[in-house]
Structure 1
Amino acid sequence: MNITHAKIVTLPVADQDRARDFYVRTLGFEVLLDQEMGPMRWLQIAPKGAQTSFTLATPEMGFTPGHAQGIVLETSDVDADCAALTEAGITVEGPVDYPWARQATLKDPDGNGLVLSTTKAP
């Protein structure tokens, strides 16, 4: 096999604009592509410099909002990110120390489950 990384992860959302605003304004992602593709809109976002991006897919595209769970987002400072998110009114659980990482969880506006993780040195 020659797979090098995941290219696109689909996030099922009810409202692409609301989801875009959360990921861009709250989490600091960038919009990579926003265009009409036939009767649908392709909206692709990613953390700055990331190899993997996310497409925000609606029920019209066959996706049920809130069904993505356990998407891990690596951060260099989970504590600072949790404080900033809490200050912005986002409910965050944690952070909690595990043998492999310090992690916290949150939900996007559609209920998709995100994990913020700072990996611990082995």
Structure 2
Amino acid sequence: MDVKLEVVVVPVTDVDRAKQFYKGLGWREDADIVAGDDFRIVQITPPGSGCSISFGTGITRMVPGSQEGLLLVTEDIEATRAQLVEHGVAVSEVFHGAAGRFHPDEPGVRLPGRDPAGGSYSSHAVFSDPDGNGWVLQEVTQRLPGR
């Protein structure tokens, strides 16, 4: 069976603020559907991604800001980080050796800079949206087998 992850819900407090933030990153707005006062869904897609994010009113019971570890893959973490900074996003410095710990309050063992060996999946940076939903940039230059 062939299935694909299509959309991830991101819980937010202010739909318009979130929409402005994500569109400000250069992400594409796919939909903004309102059905009365109790339902609105916005779908936004990062450039080159096959998966979108959705947020809105009446679409989730998750607490705004509770989504963590949303992973964005890039072939050039330094360039992607620089673009985010240009868009006004507070992005951490690039680090490696995090042993899978990306939450800003639990940094684990973060060594500064890109992975010295240039290992794919080894260099990261983190940022949050205005509600505190946590995003991780991960540099992937060579995919694991089967990807």
TM-score normalised over the length of structure 1? 0.83
Corresponding residue for 1:34? Answer: 32
Identify unmatched segments of 5+ residues in structure 1: none
Same amino acid, percent of matched pairs: 34
Corresponding residue for 1:105? Answer: 126
Three-state SS of the structure 2 residue aligned to 1:35 is strand
Q: Kindly name which structure, 1 or 2, has the bigger radius of gyration based on alpha carbons.
A: 2
Q: 1:114 aligns with which of 119, 125, 135?
A: 135
One-letter code aligned to 1:12 = P
Say how many residue pairs are matched: 120
Task: Please state if 1:82 is matched with 2:81.
Answer: yes
CA distance in 2, matches of 1:9, 1:60: 11
- Alignment root-mean-square deviation, CA: 2.2
Contact 2:41/2:59 (CA < 8 Å) preserved in 1? no
Higher normalized strand content (fraction of residues) = 1
Identify unmatched segments of 5+ residues in structure 2: 98-118
CA distance in 1, matches of 2:19, 2:32: 10
Higher normalized helix content (fraction of residues) = 1
TM-score normalised over the length of structure 2? 0.71
Contact 2:40/2:58 (CA < 8 Å) preserved in 1? no
CA distance in 1, matches of 2:20, 2:76: 22
Corresponding residue for 2:107? Answer: none
